[in-house]
Amino acid sequence: MKDLIIIGASGFGREVAWLVERINAKEPAWNLLGFLDDDDEIQGKLINGYSVLGKTEDAGKFTDAYFVCAVGASRTREKIVNRVKEINPDIKFGTVIDPSVEISDLVTVGEGTIICAHSIITVNIEIGSHVIINLDCTVGHDAVLQDFVTLYPSVNVSGITNIGYCSELGTGMQIIQGKTVGNYSIVGAGAVVVKDIPDKCTAVGSPAKPIKFFEE
């Protein structure tokens, strides 16, 4: 088994630890060493039976381990991953996929990606690195999910869509076929995307419309 460390020990980090346990119950794959987290108050403590081994600045101490970043917010996850890459240029990232996920052999998945229980990923799909696909999502044929995308629970992504770099799709939202969500954009919970969403905005509603734009 390969050693694995989860970056982030909050709610989603604990869920990813459970995901790893589910993988190992099916076929032993990961030796989960514990968490890295920058919260001073939890250093050295046990979280759901796993130790908090240090902070992100300690990533370089574990040269043989693989890492996965379990921080839901896309921009925060991007910053953390870039920081640990600076600390340890040779860092290795694992990819963890729940055994209940239905996924075809015609899907490419990048390093550091997390796909949670009961999601369905069909055919000819490109999933980038450090993507999070949370519980009970569907992704249709020929979709592209770029690096650092986050799908919160029960998101439905139709075919031939392009979900831009570091964007977030809120719980229960839907996007119809052939549409694009821009880079660094956020689509709110329950929204329905029927027209392309531009870069760097927050969009809400049905149909989804931008309500705020931001520079960074």
Q: How far, in Å, CA of 55 to CA of 40, rounded?
A: 8
Angstrom distances, CA of residue 111 to CA of 42, 67, 209: 28, 10, 32
pTM: 0.96
Spell out the residues 6+ positions from residue 27 whose beta carbon is closer than 8 angstroms to its own: none
Is the backbone of residue 106 left (phi > 0), alpha (psi -120 to 50) or beta? Answer: alpha
Q: Quick one: 81 and 108 in the same domain? A: no
Q: What is the pLDDT of residue 216?
A: 66
Q: What is the pLDDT of residue 215?
A: 78
Q: What is the pLDDT of residue 100?
A: 98
Q: What is the pLDDT of residue 202?
A: 98
Is 59 part of a structural domain of the chain? yes
Which candidate in 55, 75, 83, 141 is catalytic? 141
What 3-state DSSP class applies to 69? strand
Angstrom distances, CA of residue 90 to CA of 17, 60, 64, 79: 23, 9, 10, 17
Q: Quick one: 56 and 24 in the same domain? A: yes
Given the DSSP bridges, would you call strands 180-181 and 162-163 parallel, antiparallel or unpaired? parallel
Q: What is the largest CA-CA distance in the chain?
A: 48
pLDDT tens, per residue, the chain with 216 residues: 999 999 999 999 999 999 999 999 999 999 999 999 999 999 999 999 999 999 999 999 998 999 999 999 999 999 999 999 999 999 999 999 999 999 999 999 999 999 999 999 999 999 999 999 999 999 999 999 999 999 999 999 999 999 999 999 999 999 999 999 999 999 999 999 999 999 999 999 999 999 999 876
Residue listed under structure tokens 């995901």: 19
Domain end residue (candidates: 73, 94, 115) = 94
Given the DSSP bridges, would you call strands 46-47 and 50-54 parallel, antiparallel or unpaired? antiparallel
Q: Quick one: 89 and 155 in the same domain? A: no
Q: What is the CATH number of the domain that holds 71?
A: 3.40.50.20
Confirm whether 141 is a catalytic residue: yes
> Sign of the C-alpha dihedral, residues 151, 38, 68, 129?
positive
Given the DSSP bridges, would you call strands 144-145 and 162-163 parallel, antiparallel or unpaired? parallel
Copy the structure tokens of residue 189: 């919970």
Q: What is the CATH number of the domain that holds 136?
A: 2.160.10.10
